[in-house]
Amino acid sequence: MTFAPDEMAIGAAFSQPESDGTFSGKFADYLRHIAGRRRIVMFAFPPKAAGTFLRSAAIVAVDGQLRRVVHAQGGRDAQPYLPMFIAYYLGGLGEAPLVTHVHMQALPANRNFIEVLDLKPIAMLRSIPDMLASYWDMLEQDETARREGLNCSIPEFFPSMPRTDKADFLIDILGPWYAGYFATWLDYAAQAPERVLLLHYSEFVRAPAATLARCLTHAGIPQTDVLCRSAVDEIWEERAQFRFNHGEERRGRAYFSWRHFDRLARMLSYYPIEPEQQAELLG
């Protein structure tokens, strides 16, 4: 198929939304129109919450394609890149369903983008100390991860830092991003439960195939339980390749002290997060 965007597509791709990210007028109508043609599986997970594993299984299950839908991985907080979505809806990326995984918060501009394209994002709740423990392991081993960071600059000498300094760095510098991530997605899911699918890591660990089936149904590309189980089994054999580390719950207790847990609790306390949700996020 030859991809030849028309004048409306080009105009929409390069038009600026309002300052809060709202699209209006003829370009908003155009985006809503083309978005109805195809579905997208969007995992809006935080790092180290099985996002790479699940999106890889989703690609197998729907015979899909992985695409980066943000401008770059090493930038400040992920924001969707509109031309990529337009190209997909118009057939410029082929016929396979698009599957993507973005570490983005549900901030107002991102919500407006999600809604104009009728996207159905999927978020994951997992213990923040557990995720930071897994991220810690990755930073020690992966130079690329240290170079890209997570909305911050990672010291080049991180692997040689004293263990106590590593723990303080992760809590002080990365903890606030995780707190903000969960504050925005919990709020968005409460306001739009039909749009946002909120998963729990413990449920994924117990029943990964059923979790995958829920994700695909939510995205509008449902698959059978048998197919989802087969896809999970296929990726499980290669899980190390997809950055699935230990998948253990409460492993953060071996990395962080109660002082660190108290600091994370204080960060979360600034947001209207339910007590049971806060307990889950603290592990």
Mean pLDDT across the stretch 133-157?
A: 89
Per-residue pLDDT tens over the stretch 7-20: 888 888 888 899 99
Distance CA 257, CA 254 (A): 8
Structural domains present in the chain:
18-282 (3.40.50.300)
| pLDDT of 210 above 90 | yes
DSSP H or E run through 29: helix 25-35
Lowest mean pLDDT across 9-23, 29-43, 58-72, 230-244 = 230-244
- The pLDDT value given to residue 14: 86
pLDDT above 90: residue 216: yes
Closest of 243, 212, 197 to residue 48, by C-alpha: 243
Whether this prediction's pTM lies above 0.85 is answered by yes
Cβ neighbours of residue 78 under 8 Å, at least 6 residues apart?
70, 102, 103, 104
pLDDT, tens digit, for every residue of 68-99?
A: 999 877 666 788 999 999 999 999 999 999 99
**Does 147 have pLDDT greater than 90?**
no
Q: Given a cut of 60, is residue 245 above it in pLDDT?
A: no
pLDDT(37) > 70: yes
Contacts of 281 (CB under 8 A, 6+ apart): 125, 126, 127, 128, 182, 264, 268, 273
Q: Inform me whether the pLDDT recorded for 1 exceeds 70.
A: no
DSSP-based three-state secondary structure for 264:
helix
Highest mean predicted confidence (pLDDT) among 3-17, 145-159, 185-199: 185-199
Q: Are 31 and 23 within 8 A, CB to CB? A: yes
Q: What pLDDT does residue 91 have? A: 92
Residue 150 in this model has a pLDDT that exceeds 90: no
* Greater model confidence, 248 or 148: 148
